[in-house]
Amino acid sequence: MNPSLKLALTVFIALEVSFAQVWTVNVALIVVSLILMLINHVSFKRLLYLTLVPLFFSSTLVWSLSLRGSASPHFLLVIFTRLFVYVYMGGLFTQTTDPLMLTRSLEQNAKLPAKFAYGFLAAFNLMPKIKAEVATIKAAAMMRGQILHFWSPQLYFKVILAAMNWSDQLAAAMTSHGFVEGAPRTHALTIPLVARDWWFFGGALLLVQVGLFSGLR
């Protein structure tokens, strides 16, 4: 499915589920997400992680709601399943979507300005450098007798200085590689957005609405 539409569908359903209180729809969404993840060969380890995490957090949430609140069993069931919907749908999306394809699709299909699309990508590729920089800063501080924690302003200060340097360098490099803000570009790879994507998008949304409507009645 087209990555931009898939993102829109995921976010829209997650938003609806946040307000609706129909546990049967939640369960249906969980089952569908699970089946789709299995079809797409998501690893067993990943599935286990995607199951244990919400299991722990929704259990504690439900436990505290029943202890500290006045929630009906039906409401608790809704909350319990809701977290699974979030995590499974999020898992389905991230496991079946290549970030680069998503960005290209957002640029081509959703008309996101190219400066945002490629600015994000340039920064995302720095992820390993950012992690290494944090380690270097902490080590440099320790050599001076200081321990930096996640609440130490100096840690953030130094990272931000490095980030400013990198963003200057990357912006210059992009300009040097011919990128001009707002200028038209061609696309070596086009991300298709075909009628089938729209049918699938509309069909899935319609099914959820029908489910919610009959569940609320």
Partner 1 sequence: MATVTVNSLTFTYPQRQRPVLDDLAVTFPGGKFSLLTGVSGGGKSTLLRLIAGLTPLPTPNTITFDGNPLSAIAPGKRAATVAMLFQEPSTQFTMDTVVNELRFALENQRVDPAAIPGKIDAALAFIGITNLKDRSLMALSGGEQQKVALAIIVAMDSDVILLDEPFASIDPPTRLTLLQKLVALCTQRGKTIILADHDLSGYDEWVDHLAVLDTGKVTLLSTEQTQQRFAAFTPEQLRLTHVTQPSSALTVSLQGSQLGIAQGKRQLIQPQDLSFFAHRATLITGPNGSGKSTLFRALVRLGKYQGTLTYDGTNIQKLSRKRYAREVGLMFQSATAQFLNVTVTEELDLSRRFGNADYFTAERVQDLLTQLNLADHAEQVIYSLSSGQQKKLQLLCMLIMAPDVLLLDEPLKGLDFASIQVVMQILTTAQRDLKLTLIMVSHQLSGLDDLITLHLHLDQQHLTYEGAAE
Partner 2 sequence: MKRWHIRDIILVTILAIFMGVIFWVIGPLYTVLAAALAPFGLSPLANELLLGIWVMAGPLAGFIIRIPGAATLGELLGAVVEMFLGGIWGASTLISGVVQGFGSELGFIFTGYKRYTWSTLVLTALTTTIVTFTWDLFRSGYAAYHVPFLLLLFAVRFASVFVFGGVLTKLINNLLVRAHVLPNATH
| Identified binder of partner 2 from the candidate list 63, 198, 199, 213, rule CB under 8 A | 63
Select the binding partner of residue 56 from partner 1, partner 2, none (C-beta < 5 to 8 A, by kind): partner 2
Question: Whole-number minimum distance, CB 190 to partner 2, in Å?
Answer: 23
- Verify binding: residue 86, partner 2, rule CB under 8 A: yes
- Structure tokens belonging to residue 49: 């992680």
Q: Name the token pair of 118.
A: 């490629």
Q: How far apart are CA 105 and CA 188, in angstroms?
A: 13
Q: Does the protein bind partner 2 through residue 23 (CB under 8 A)? A: no
* Tokens encoding 99: 């970030």
| Binding at 185: pick from partner 2, partner 1, none (beta carbon under 5-8 Å per type) | partner 1
50 binds partner 2 (CB under 8 A): yes
Contact 99, 124 (CB under 8 A): yes
CB nearer to partner 1: give 113 or 202.
Answer: 113
Residue from 31, 100, 160, 194 touching partner 2 (CB under 8 A): that is 160
30 vs 85: CA distance, rounded Å: 5
Q: Which does 140 bind (CB under 5 to 8 A by kind): partner 1, partner 2, none?
A: partner 1
Which residues of this protein are in contact with partner 1, per CB under 8 A?
A: 100, 118, 121-122, 125-126, 128-129, 135-137, 139-147, 154, 158, 161, 166, 169-170, 172-180, 183-190
Token couple for 107: 């640029």
Complex with partner 1: residue 37 or 148, whichever CB lies closer: 148
Q: Which residues of 77-111 are buried (b: 16+ CB within 10 A; e: fewer)?
A: bbbbbbbbbbbbbebbbebbbeeeebbbbbbbbbe
CB 202 within 8 A of CB 8: no
Q: CA 138, CA 148: separation in Å to the nearest integer?
A: 6
x/- map, 96-115, partner 2, by CB under 8 A = ---x---------------x
